[in-house]
Structure formats: structure tokens, C-alpha cells
Amino acid sequence: MIQVTITQAMTALGLLLAIIGLWGILTRRNIIRIIIAFTILDTGVHLIMVGLGYVTKGTAPILDGELAALGTLNVVDPVPSALVLTAIVIGLAVTALMLSYAIRLYQTYHTLSIDEIKEMKW
Amino acid sequence: MVSPIYAIAIPLGAAFLLPLFEKAGKNAAKALVLAILAALTALPVSWLVVWIVNTPNLAGLLRVSPLAVDTGGFPAPISIRLAAGIGEALVMALVNLTAFLGITHMLVRSQAKPTGKTLVLLLTLVTGVNGLILTRDLFNIFVFLEITSISTYALIASNGSKRAYEAGFKYIIAGSIASSIYLVGVIYLYRLTGSLSLDHLPRSGGTAIALMLLTTALLLELKPFPANGWSLDVYQAADPGISAMVSAVGASGVLFVLYKLTPLLSPTHLRLIAGSGAVTFVFSQVIALRQTDVRRMLGYSSTAQIGLMLLVIGSGRGTIPTIVLLGLLLGNHMLSKAGLFWVTDLIDGNRTIASMSDSGSLPALARNKPLLVAMIGILLAALAGLPPFPSFWAKWHLVSALVPNGRWLLVAVVLGGSLMEAGYLFRWFTRFTKASEDPGDVHQERIPADVPVTTRPQTGTVSSRSGKEALARQAASTAAATQATTQTIPQVVRQAEQPVEISGSPVPTIIATLVLVFGGIAAAVGFLAPNQELILLVPLAVLLIGALLDTLRIPSKIQLLLGMLGIGVYSWLLLPSLGGIPLVFGLLFLVGGLLQMIALMQRKGHQPGLAVLVSTLLFSLGNLLFVQSRLGFFFSWELMSIVSYLLIVRGRAASGAALRYLMFSLGGAYSILVGLVLLPTGFAPHATSSLWAGILLGTGFLIKIGTVGLHIWLPGAYAEAEDEVSSLLSSVLSKAGLFMLFTTAGLFIQPLLRSVPGVTLAYLLGWLGALTALAGAFLAVFQEDIKYTLAYSSMGQMGYMLLSFALMTQLGWINSMYLAVTHLLFKTMLFVAIAGVVHRTGTRLMYRMGGLISRMPVSFFSVLIGIIALSGVPPLTGFGAKWMLYTALIEKGWYLQAGMAFFASAIAFLYLFRLIHTIFLGQLKDEHREIREAPLWYLVPQLIAIIGIMLVSMFPNLLIKPLEMAIAGYFPQTIAWQGSTLVSTLGYWNGNAVMYVTMGVFLVPLVWLLATRRKHNQKVRQFNIVYSAERPDRPQTTHYAYNFYAPYRSALGSFLTPWATRFWKRVLSVVRVVGSSTRRIYSGDGQTYALYVLLYAIVLMLLLRGGN
């Protein structure tokens, strides 16, 4: 039987989400759906990040008695978690900005279909 | 020194506090922002100053230990380290200076001033970029990347236009995919190495894919072709102030991050970066050629410039450190591109003026705001990499790093792309400089219908009127038509002048321009000083002084006198130190140039740029005489090209011709650049070297000479330039290429193939010379426009010089220089005399002249002497030249070439005869009955030249003996002197005797005719000739001088097909088609752009696998 670690499973799941997100960005015509696809992509990437730092049966990286007992090798790596927190915040900001763009685009073009928003080219 | 942390903390803190300051008053907030940016500029400058003071040389400066700060009190891998070395300080100073100028520009412009929110966003943008430059932590880079991106996304939307929203949204989609890729890359790198610190990451092992992900993401932020559709929309749609920030400030931060990453990257990564940069550079330039919207064109130029910098990053290891090269290119790009975006903002009063197709208002702008247009010219020249601007030096060092490594494809990309860039940038510039009646595409002569259709007489009335009456009426109508045209021009001007208003203050742009100029001069000093060649900067000094005098509106006469004085002193100091061939050409350039300047004294009032450009041109020609280093030569050569372009573009309908001249000159200069780099021993006279160096250098010089096939620029440039300037170009400037051929002659004597020792480059040059002589003569014959005739005639004469030079014998070289000197004299006579005729008659079409001998006798005499000297009939100098040419050709055994040269001379008689016959003989036109002799200032140089020609004709040894001495030692002696008689192996030539015999042959029949046939002579008057009862509606069609040699034209048939013109047109159309079809990929669809981004990333990853 193939052993699947949590890290591998989460990476696979994250990749799947990322691909779904990319597929959504490339195929959906509605701007709101594109934005949702973007958040899926973002979540996938975050999942990959968190998964990479995970240590099976490890403990939280908090300096307490349990840490002393288990030793530093069995602590979940705190860096990816810290990174993910930052990335989530940034992702949120970008999503908010995209949504406000969507509102503006709807106000000026009176449509949310990205097909109809291509005034500039070449 | 002040810690780098403040570069992030201050703007970030201020961004948050700004709303509070706004409560205190709008101006308080604005003042705070500007003060902060000024401080941020001063900060890195203070580091630089300390370092420069403490270290003696550049090498030490590059090794200076960076100023590092570990945040949070922990050492580096645990905390985030900020570090500022010399590169960081340099780029930070540039970024913050540009941001300071950019925000100032937006604050002082008259519309769309930034609100408090915009200022906050601008501050966060600056924070992000400073962070990108300083931080040494990969994840921190991500954070600053996002700060930069998010503030940019928001800034794009700030002008509230529909298009800006569209562009911004496309940008967000592309940008968010890029940052996802970056995140995945960071986390994998962390997984593999356990570190995020640039200083602690291992330099090798297993990280190729993770690093490639990072690289790909950074490249995507840098708008690589084809994944850059969104960025072009941003440049086009956003507020130009914001576009300038995106192009100059935002991109610089990301670019620097990529540079910081290079120590970690493998050669494969670097190759991919260089490759992507090269592809972006060349395709962006090709597509930019097809743009009609100036801002989109500048956008393409921006992506191209960043591509060039990627190429530098990827293929570093040059003769100078990559960071210096990058600093030069980056600084140049930032200031010039931002400056140009601001300019489009300033002149864009009615939102159409910045369009390429807008022809009316730009020239009006040039008349009203000449300084603004001069500034645009400077910015464009800097962007196009012309001397002395920083990118010029970068281009030289880039090519000299690429060529020895055999990276020919990259060399071709860099130079080809630069050429295209210069093309579209200066095409825009010509829209400003051209006169409103200039159609902009004049390269060939144009023959207007000279009687307007409306004045055509009724057919019924013709018979009832006498010929005399009709003719008088016709003359009156022609005069009226001429008056009408002169009156309509000011009307056009007045119409166009209304919308010219600049919206805002040009001060920030002026500062950017000045920084560029001084940066360029500093770079020039830095690069020329090691070779002790600072004297080469004299032309630049002249240019600056002249520009100052022009700004003060000093009259041109005074400026010219100053220029002549300067050149006189310069010659006095320089010429005695020269000897041999340089001395001959020194006299030709400088003394010949002085002769030309006399004619310019005729100009009245203040002629902006005229005196300064002519003086600068002569000084830069002077540079060529003594320059030793390759770089110094290339600098002088390019300077000469750009100055002569600016002189030509002054002509009334010369914008198209000048652009063509510039393109060919730059193409030639780039060919020379590669050739110079190939010279192993450096640029020294008579260096022997590889075949390719010879071919490339030769091509460059031949372009300047205008040999057949490369002559496309020549007729337009000579003919459409101002009349006196044409004389300067033809008689002085054209010799520059010849001089350089003499200087590098050693390159042309090796056999092309070992098996055929006789076929050398010189042999090919000989054929080219003969063909050029023939083609020039043929083309001159069929022109109606007198200046085109003279232009082609110059081309033919240069062909003889080239043929003589290529002989590589003593007599050949003597004759080549003899021709050069005499050509200077007789072309001065012809061109200046014709300038006088055109000045008086107001037309250049020969069939509209005639009989001017009675009104302009001195000009007639001058042209007569000129054509005799040119044609090679005894007794004047041309005879000697022909004698020497045929002797030398026969001695060498080049019989076919001799035949061709002889045939060409025969053809030359045709156009020379037409010149004197059509203009000065025949019937005087009604409207010319009252015209006077040419102005005195025109006559003086002609008389001097006539005296020169007469002296040399009578005493050829006056000229030939010094020439013989000049080339003494190069060749075995084949000529000898007996008194003043020149003896060759085939015969002898005595100038005195020839003169006396010819005079006798001419005078004896003349005296006899006058004495015996006097009473039979009758003067043919105008109305002795009638129109055979016909009344032509196009009078020129019945004029004997119109289409004078029509029978020859039909006899020659397909020989006259303009093959070369067709070839170059084909080249241009191929480039255009490539541009047009390539830009179709930018469909405007945001999702397509996202797909390109993804595909780009995938292709790079695949290439990485393939590369390993």
C-alpha cells in the first residue's frame, strides 16, 4: 500500500485547487466568477504552503513543556504558517480590490462579461 | 550613515499619517510627501557620497561592504535583513528621484491633480519599491512585491476612466497569477533549503525548479513578450503621471530583485532570462513601429527597454561590471521614459495631441515652445541611445561584451531593436519639427502642377487672343498663384496655433532632462578619461555653449562668427600636430567647413540651432582626425551623425528625408560598432584584422559615402536640406566616410578567398565605386529638380573617389584625395551658386528657370567653372583627375572599371550641360526679369573656390606634391616630376600647357567669330518663338527643358529601375508586416492575456528541463 503523508495529500489537494482556480480564471466569462476562481487558486497555493510545513504527530511551535519533551524535530515548522498568514492577508486585499474593480467595470461598461471589455488592443 | 530601514519606515508611516496631515490642510500633506521623497533621494545619495569619498577607485567602490540592518534584533537567517550596497544605493537614488519628480509633476499640472488618496498610494508604491531594493529575504520580497502591485492596481484606477478600469483589471489577473507562482516558488525553496535569506541560501543543488518559479514570477512582473498585453493597456489608459511611475519606478524595483537573485541562478536560468529579454526587446520594437497612439508606443518602448536590461542581467560578465551597465540603462530608461510620459501629459491639452497621426498641432507646438520640443528631442535621443547619454555607453559595452563571446544573435537583436526604436521615436520627433506644408515623405523630387486647374483658359477664347497677351495673362496668374501659396502658409499656421497650451509646469521634466544630460556627460568623462581622450568632448561643449546662445536669442550672424572664430582657433591648434592623410582631411573638414559657413552668413535674424549645429558638426569631424580609441571614434562618429540629422531636419520639407538619413546613419554606425569590437588591437590607423571587421566597418563608411545600394538616403538628404547646408553636407561631410576608409585601409587588402589572391575587399570597393559613379550620373540626368541633380552628381563623384581609393596604388590614392579636395571646391561653387539661384527665383525646378545669365552673371560664371572642373574636360582640375584616374586604372589592369568610369563621365556631360543650359541660357522668364545677382555672402565662397580651382588647374603640383608627400611610404613610387609636369608610366601631364592650349582653342575661334560674323548675329528674343498656335495648360510640358533627356530615358528602359529603392522598401514592408501580424496576439481579452501568462510560465519551465 502506498503511504501518503499529510504533506503529500495537502500538496495534491492544493495543486488540484490551484488548477481549478486557473481553469476558472481562463474559462469563466463573468468577472465575479473569475474573482472567485482567483480565490480558489489562492487557497490552493496557501494549502500547498501549509502542507509543506506540517510534521506528522508534531506539536505546535510554542515554547512550553510539551515542546521540551518532544524535541525541536517534532515541532510543526512555524515559518510556513507565518508566511501563509501574510499571504492570506494580501490575498484578501487583492480580492477586495478586484471586487471594487468589478463594481467600477459594471458601472462603466454595464456588463460583467469580460468578453465585452476589450476596448484596447494591439 | 543613516540606516536603510528609514527608507521603508518613513514613507510607510507617512502613508498612514497622511490623512491626519490633510486635516491640517491640503498643502501640508503635499509638502510632507515631497519632503519625504526628497529625503529618500538624499538618503542613498548620502551613502554614495560617503563611499565615494572613502574609496579611491571604481573597483574599490564595487567591493564596498554593504550597509546592513537586521530587523527585530536577531541576526540574518532568523530576522529579515535589509542591506544597501553600491547597486542598491544607486537604484534607490534614481527611483526616489524619479518618484519625487513624478509626484511634483502631478501636483503642479493644471488638471487631474492627485487627491490625498492618490498621494497615499504613491507613497506606498515608493515604500514597496524601496523595500524590494533593500530586502534580502525572499518572502519579504513577496510582501513588497504585493505592496507595489496593489498600490499600482489602485493607482491605475485613479483617473476614473473606462479604459483605466479595463486595463487595471487585466493587470490584476495577470499579476495575481504571477504572485501565486512566486509563492509556490518561495515555499519550495524553503522546503528544500530551510532558508529564505538571500545571503544564506546555498549556491547549488536541487533548487533549479524552485528558483525557476521565482524567476518566472519576477519575469512576468517585468512584462515579457508575449505575456505583457495587460501592461500595454496600462500605459495607454492610465494617467500619464501614473504610467511614468509604473514604467520607471515600479519596474525598476522588480528588475533589481531579479538582479539580486542572479548569484543563486545557474547558467541555464541566466540564458532563459537573457533569451526572454531578447525576445521581448525585438518584438516590442517591431510592434511599436506600428503604433499610432504615442502612449502605447512609449509602453512598447518601456517593455523593450526592460527586455534589454533582462538581456544584460542574463548575459552579464562584460568588460565592465553588470551593475554599472544596468545602472546606466536603468537610469537612462527611468528618466527619459518618465520624462516622455510627462511630456505627453503636458501637451495633451485636448486629448488628441499625443496621437501620432495628429499633424497640425505638433508643429505649432514647435513654433510656440521651441524649448519644450528641444527637451523632447533630448529625451528621445537619450532613449534611443545616442551619444552622450548613458545608454549610449551601455550599448557600446554591452556589444563589446557580447561579440567576443560569439553571441551574434543577441548582438543582432540589440542593434536591430535599437535601430527600430530610434526609427519610431524620431518619426514622432519629426512630427514636431516639420513645417506644416511638409508632407513628411519627401525622398524623391516632386514636380507640382504649376498652373492651378481653375485658371485654365477657356478653349473658345484662345484663338481670339494674341500669344503675347495670353502669355502676359499667364504670367500674371502664375504670379498670383505664387502669392496665394505664400499667403496660405501663415493661415495654416494661425489655425494650428490655437490649441497650443501646455497644461502644467514643465519644470520636473526639465530637471529630469538636465539630470540625463549631466549623467550623460559624467558617463562620457568617466568612459573617455581612461584613454586620455577628454578632448573628444569639445563638440559637446560647443553644443552646450551654442544652445545657451540660442536660448538667449543671439542673432545667427554673431553665433556664426563665434563659431568660425572657434573653428579657426581649433584648426590653428590642431592642424600643425597632424601630418599625412589626417592633415589633408583636416584641411578639408575644417577649412572647407569655414568656407561653407561664409554662405550661411547670409541668414538674417535668429535661426535657432543653425550656427550651433554647423559648428558642432565641424568639431565632431575634427574629432575623427586624431581619435585613437575605438570607443572615442564611435562616440565621435555617432555624434556627427545625430548632429547632421538635426541639420537636415531643418529643411522645409526635409523631415522624411532626414529620418531616412538618420536610419541609414545609425544602421551604418551599428555596423561600425560591431566592426570596431572585432578589431583585436583596438582602433589604430592601418590595423590589420579579420575580414568581418573590414566588411562591417566598410559597410558603415560606404553608407556615409552613399555608394549605390546604400545611397537611398542621399538624394533626399542633400536636396531637401537647406540650400547652404546641402553644400556643407555634399562637399565636407561626405568625405568623412572616405577619410575613415583611408584610415582603416589595411582592412581591405587581404584576399577574400585564399585561392583567388586578386579578389580583395578593395577590389569589390573598386567595382562599387565604378557602379556608384555610373548610377549617380544616370540618376542625375533625369531630374527636373536642380538640387536632386546636384545630389546625385555628388554621389557619382564620391564613386570616383572610392574607385581611386580602391586601386591601392600611389596614383590612385593621390587621385582620390585630389578629387576630394577639388570636389570640395567645385561642389561648393555649384551648390552655393544654385542656392543663390533658388534664393532669387524661389523655385528648384530647372524648367522654370532660364536666361539667368543676364541677371546673375557671377553665379553663371561660377557654375560654368564648376561644371568644367567637374566634367573633366581641359583645362580645369577635372581633366587632371581623369588623367590620373585612367592612368592608375590602366596601370593596375582594371580595364573594365576604366571603361565604366569613362562611360559615367560621358553621362555626366549630359546633366552638366543641362545645368548650365537650362538655368542660365535660353529665355528669361517673365517673373525673373527683375531679379538680382545672388547675395554677397553667397558669392564670397564661390569666388574663393574659383580661385582655388584656377590655382590648382594652372599649377597642379601645388596640390599633388603635398598629397604625394602625405602618402609617402605606403606604396612604391610610380610617378615622377619634371618641373611642374607629372610623369607616369603611360604619359605626362603639364597643367600649364593644357591650360594655355585649351584657352587658345577656345579664344581663337571666339575672336574670329566676333570679328567676322558680327553683323549676321541676331539676339533671339522671347517672342521669336511661338507655341504653334497651341495653348498648353501645363506649360512645362512644352518647355524645352522639361524632361530634357526623354529619349535617353526610353532608350535605357529597365536599366533605370530603382532596384535599391525597391529593395529597401521591401525590407521596410517586411518589418511592418511582421509588426502588424505580431501585434494581433494582443487581442485585448484579459483572459487571453492570462493564458499567455500561464503558457509563458510553462514554456520557461519546459525550457529549463530541456536546458539541463
Burial class for B252, CB neighbours closer than 10 Å (0-12, 13-18, 19+): buried
* Contact flag A80-B190 (C-beta cutoff 8 Å): yes
- Using a CB-CB cut-off of 8 Å, the residues of chain B touching A38 are 173, 176
Q: CA distances (Å), B330 to each of B516, B523, B726, B786, in order? A: 11, 14, 38, 48
Phi, psi of B315 (to 5 degrees): -125, 30
pLDDT per position as a tens digit, B878-900: 888 999 999 999 998 999 999 99
Q: What is the mean pLDDT of chain A?
A: 84
Distance CA B735, CA B945 (A): 17
What's the full length of chain A, in residues? 122
Work out the pLDDT band at B462, boundaries 50, 70, 90. Answer: very low
Burial class for B718, CB neighbours closer than 10 Å (0-12, 13-18, 19+): buried
- pLDDT score for B486: 44
- Nearest residue to B334 (alpha-carbon basis) of B383, B299, B370, B300: B383
User: Do B229 and B1081 touch, CB atoms closer than 8 A?
Assistant: yes
Task: Give B591 or B759, the one with higher predicted confidence.
Answer: B591
Task: Give B368 or B400, the one with higher predicted confidence.
Answer: B400
- Using a CB-CB cut-off of 8 Å, the residues of chain B touching A34 are 173, 1087
pLDDT per position as a tens digit, A15-32: 999 999 999 999 988 999
Q: Does A12 touch chain B (CB under 8 A)?
A: no
Percent of chain B with pLDDT over 70: 90
- Joined grid coordinates for residue B121: 498610494
Of B435-439, B746-750, B999-1003, the poorest mean pLDDT is in B435-439
Distance CA B208, CA B203 (A): 10
Sign of the C-alpha dihedral computed for residues B47, B53, B58 and B64 taken in this order: negative
Q: Does A98 touch chain B (CB under 8 A)?
A: yes
pLDDT per position as a tens digit, B160-177: 888 889 999 999 999 999
User: Do B383 and B391 touch, CB atoms closer than 8 A?
Assistant: yes
Distance CA B673, CA B909 (A): 39
Burial class for B569, CB neighbours closer than 10 Å (0-12, 13-18, 19+): exposed
Is B451 in a helix, a strand, or coil?
coil
Class (C level, CATH) for A6-116: mainly alpha
**Could you say which of A90, A114, A119 has the minimum Cβ distance to residue B163?**
A119
A interface test, pick of B151, B165, B297 with most A CB neighbours within 10 Å: B165
- Bridge partners of B197, per DSSP, are B137
Sign of the C-alpha dihedral computed for residues B918, B920, B926 and B927 taken in this order: positive
Q: Does the model's pTM come out above 0.95?
A: no
- pLDDT score for A97: 93
pLDDT per position as a tens digit, B483-519: 444 444 444 444 444 556 777 888 889 999 999 999 9
Considering all CA atoms of chain B, what is the largest pairwise distance in Å, rounded to the nearest integer? 117
Closest approach of A45 to chain B, Cα-based (Å)? 7
pLDDT per position as a tens digit, B22-58: 888 778 888 999 999 999 999 999 998 998 888 877 7
B73: left (phi over 0), alpha (psi -120 to 50) or beta: left
- Joined grid coordinates for residue B1039: 518647355
Q: Which residues contact B264 (CB under 8 A, 6 or more apart)?
A: B198, B201, B203, B207, B211
- Bridge partners of B977, per DSSP, are B982
B578: left (phi over 0), alpha (psi -120 to 50) or beta: beta
Work out the pLDDT band at B669, boundaries 50, 70, 90. Answer: very high
- The alpha carbon of B138 is separated from its chain's Cα centroid by a whole number of angstroms, namely 43
Work out the pLDDT band at B1033, boundaries 50, 70, 90. Answer: low
Of B646-650, B685-689, B1039-1043, B1073-1077, the poorest mean pLDDT is in B685-689
- pLDDT score for B897: 92
Phi, psi of B980 (to 5 degrees): -105, 20
- Using a CB-CB cut-off of 8 Å, the residues of chain B touching A122 are 287, 290, 1079-1080, 1082, 1084
Work out the pLDDT band at B114, boundaries 50, 70, 90. Answer: confident
Residue that the C-alpha cell 540650400 belongs to: B723
Is B266 in a helix, a strand, or coil?
coil
User: Do B724 and B699 touch, CB atoms closer than 8 A?
Assistant: no
- Joined grid coordinates for residue B467: 500669344
User: Do B683 and B630 touch, CB atoms closer than 8 A?
Assistant: yes
Work out the pLDDT band at B400, boundaries 50, 70, 90. Answer: confident
- Joined grid coordinates for residue B134: 533593500
Residue that the C-alpha cell 547597486 belongs to: B87
- pLDDT score for B449: 58
Q: Is the pLDDT of residue B979 over 90?
A: no
- pLDDT score for A75: 73
A interface test, pick of B191, B209, B228 with most A CB neighbours within 10 Å: B191
Of A105-114, B365-374, B947-956, the poorest mean pLDDT is in B365-374
Q: Which residues contact B65 (CB under 8 A, 6 or more apart)?
A: B85
- Nearest residue to B943 (alpha-carbon basis) of B1029, B1050, B829: B829
- Using a CB-CB cut-off of 8 Å, the residues of chain B touching A118 are 166, 1083-1086
SS (H, E, C) B211-230: HHHHHHHHHHHCCCCCCCHH
- Joined grid coordinates for residue B501: 497650451
Q: Does B878 touch chain A (CB under 8 A)?
A: no
What's the full length of chain B, in residues? 1108
- pLDDT score for B493: 42
What number of helices (H) and strands (E) belong to chain B?
43, 7
User: Do A68 and A44 touch, CB atoms closer than 8 A?
Assistant: no
pLDDT per position as a tens digit, B980-1007: 788 888 888 888 888 888 888 889 988 9
Q: Which residues contact B372 (CB under 8 A, 6 or more apart)?
A: B343, B346, B347, B365, B502, B506
- pLDDT score for B489: 41
Of B229-243, B538-552, B743-757, B1020-1034, the poorest mean pLDDT is in B1020-1034
C-alpha angle B116/B122/B124, rounded to 5°? 105
Q: Is the pLDDT of residue B260 over 50?
A: yes
**B265-298 burial, b for 16+ CB within 10 Å, e for fewer?**
bbebbbbbbbbbbbbbbbbbbbbbbbbebbbbbb
Q: Is the pLDDT of residue A41 over 90?
A: yes
**Could you say which of A45, A48, A101 has the minimum Cβ distance to residue B172?**
A101
**Could you say which of A98, A105, A122 has the minimum Cβ distance to residue B1080?**
A122
Strands (E), B962-1059: 976-978, 981-983, 988-990
Work out the pLDDT band at B463, boundaries 50, 70, 90. Answer: very low
Work out the pLDDT band at B1036, boundaries 50, 70, 90. Answer: low
- pLDDT score for B789: 93
**Could you say which of B149, B187, B1090 has the minimum Cβ distance to residue A52?**
B187
Task: Give B517 or B350, the one with higher predicted confidence.
Answer: B517
Q: Is the pLDDT of residue B755 over 80?
A: no
Q: Which residues contact B248 (CB under 8 A, 6 or more apart)?
A: B95, B98, B102, B333, B334, B335, B337, B338
Closest approach of A5 to chain B, Cα-based (Å)? 15
What number of helices (H) and strands (E) belong to chain A?
4, 0
- Joined grid coordinates for residue B345: 501629459
Q: Which amino acid is at B1033?
A: D
* Contact flag B166-A120 (C-beta cutoff 8 Å): yes
The verdict on whether omega for the bond into residue B555 sits within 30 degrees of 0, i.e. cis, is: no
- pLDDT score for B465: 40
Residue that the C-alpha cell 487557497 belongs to: A43
**B138-152 burial, b for 16+ CB within 10 Å, e for fewer?**
bbbbbbbbbbbbbbb
Work out the pLDDT band at B310, boundaries 50, 70, 90. Answer: very high
Give the mean pLDDT of B48-70: 82
